Structure 1
Amino acid sequence: MPPQFPDQKQYAAFLFDMDGTILSSKAAAERVWGHWAERHGLDPVRFLPTMHGKRGVDTIRQLGLPGIDPVLEADKITQAEIDDVDGVVAIPGAVSFLAALPPDRWAIVTSSTKALALRRLDAAGLPVPRFMVTGDDVTIGKPNPQCYILGAEVLGVRPAECLVFEDVEAGVQAGEAAGAGVMVITAAGHKHDFGNRPSIDDYTTISPAIRGDGLMIVRRPQIIG
């Protein structure tokens, strides 16, 4: 059975992951993390697919590398990512989609640090939202739902009233564990099996509609003929 597109469901707020969801930073991130992996004797081909969507400190800590300080290493990687934004661009349609939303009804919820998030948003020509939850704001990262619970809280709504936009399994799991609906964005090309979850490639095929009561709907244009 194909996934049911949530074009009739009403939401109080939208929560967007950043990397791979509203902007493309995969090439830049994999350059930085690939070099780091090689220096530490890891196979980049096997390692790189595992690091997307998570806080850097959590990724490094889970590796259990001897003699490595995860916090210090994550700080170094973050600075390298801030320095390398070559090829960071907005996902098609994201600029206009975000511009159509009430500014108090959406937030970015990213595993990136705030400094890196601001750098990549600027590089991609995307607006800095009124509300943003970053990896600096949580004690444990995705797939733990803490970030999306906090994202709903800062908007003054319940997670169950939100639609989360995500691109990787850790984020999808975090959104669902928080109790939110999830829309998968596939533009980044991650090789994940998202099962029977609604998905779109980018934002060119959808638009938001805001009802008189402030609730929002995701709509797809009708194809005639």
Structure 2
Amino acid sequence: MTFPTRTYAAFLFDMDGTILTSIASAERTWTKWAIAHGLDAATFVPTIHGVQSVETVRRLGLPGVDPVAEAAAITAAEMEDVDDIAPIAGAAAFLASLPPERWTIVTSAPRALAEVRLKAAGLPVPATMIAADDIPNGKPAPDCFLVAAERLGVAAGDCLVFEDAAAGITAGEAAGADVLVITATHSHGVEMAHPTVVDYVRLSVTVREDGLIVTQD
């Protein structure tokens, strides 16, 4: 796909797998939980990415399991396991190059967990961040990106969404935004309907009065 060349009012970033990697820590926690509930961890764990924890538990339909309580327990465990969380290459510098009013984070993680992970990765927490606590309908519903754009005072259709997971890509599409896929944490190549880039090392942004232009060296 052609790399985006248009001007954008704002950039909307997913968190896990997009500006930082917490896959190892998240999968450790979810693997323990899956085994405790008699699930095939190897099959189940790859399905957790990009959606709210409560929805991941709810869609299993496990008898006698309260999705809200289980999700809260999983989040608490994830907050204790942050030692190997790290920023995606070049993400810190790229975010620092953006005007603070022109970008935000849109994550399926609860706010408390998102803040812990961002701190562990040495990345900023924007005041306008959208977390799971803010949106009843998580990704792949478009609500999170629509509300994020509204908080920034722009139209979602004038935004570029940075994503890595299928649910987030679908949410960005449904919000009417353009999507750029970050593939740093992808274990194998997948045919994408959107432009892709491995990380932020070769990305730069031009800040103009009429918006932002992202370019790849």
User: Where on the TM-score scale, by shorter chain, does this alignment land: which range?
Assistant: over 0.9
Match 1:4 to one of 2, 5, 11: 2
Task: Assess, with a 3 A threshold, how the Cα gap between structure 1 residues 134 and 194 changes in structure 2: closer, same or farther.
Answer: farther
Runs of 4+ residues deviating >6 angstroms: none
* Number of the residue aligned with 1:99: 96
* Number of the residue aligned with 1:84: 81
Match 1:51 to one of 48, 51, 58: 48
Task: Assess, with a 3 A threshold, how the Cα gap between structure 1 residues 180 and 150 changes in structure 2: closer, same or farther.
Answer: same
* Number of the residue aligned with 1:215: 211
Q: Is the 8 A contact 1:54 1:170 kept in 2?
A: yes
Instruction: Name the CA distance, whole Å, in 2 between partners of 1:73 and 1:130.
Output: 28
| TM-score, normalised via structure 1 length | 0.94
Instruction: Name the CA distance, whole Å, in 2 between partners of 1:158 and 1:190.
Output: 33
Provide the secondary structure at the position in 2 that maps to 1:104. Answer: helix
**Residue 205 (1) aligns with residue 202 (2):** yes
* Number of the residue aligned with 1:177: 174
Instruction: Name the CA distance, whole Å, in 2 between partners of 1:82 and 1:151.
Output: 24
Instruction: Name the CA distance, whole Å, in 2 between partners of 1:55 and 1:132.
Output: 15
State the 1:106 CA deviation.
0.3
Q: Is the 8 A contact 2:145 2:172 kept in 1?
A: yes
Q: Is the 8 A contact 2:161 2:177 kept in 1?
A: yes
The correspondence of residues 16-165 of structure 1 with structure 2, limited to 5 A, is 16-165=13-162
State the 1:196 CA deviation.
2.7
What amino acid sits opposite 2:201 in the alignment? Answer: T
Percent of residue pairs bearing the same amino acid type: 55
Instruction: Name the CA distance, whole Å, in 1 between partners of 2:91 and 2:194.
Output: 20
Q: Is the 8 A contact 1:16 1:107 kept in 2?
A: yes
Instruction: Name the CA distance, whole Å, in 1 between partners of 2:157 and 2:134.
Output: 21
State the 1:55 CA deviation.
0.3
Instruction: Name the CA distance, whole Å, in 1 between partners of 2:153 and 2:167.
Output: 24
Provide the secondary structure at the position in 1 that maps to 2:89. Answer: coil
Deviations 1:170-215 (A, max 9, x none): 000000000000000001125573523100000001111111x240
What amino acid sits opposite 1:5 in the alignment? Answer: F
Structure 2 unmatched runs, 5+: none
What amino acid sits opposite 2:190 in the alignment? Answer: D
What amino acid sits opposite 1:143 in the alignment? Answer: P
Instruction: Name the CA distance, whole Å, in 1 between partners of 2:128 and 2:210.
Output: 18
**Residue 15 (1) aligns with residue 12 (2):** yes
Structure 1 unmatched runs, 5+: none
Provide the secondary structure at the position in 2 that maps to 1:204. Answer: coil
| TM-score, normalised via structure 2 length | 0.98
Instruction: Name the CA distance, whole Å, in 1 between partners of 2:125 and 2:159.
Output: 20
Q: Across the two proteins, how many residue pairs are aligned to each other?
A: 217
What amino acid sits opposite 1:218 in the alignment? Answer: V
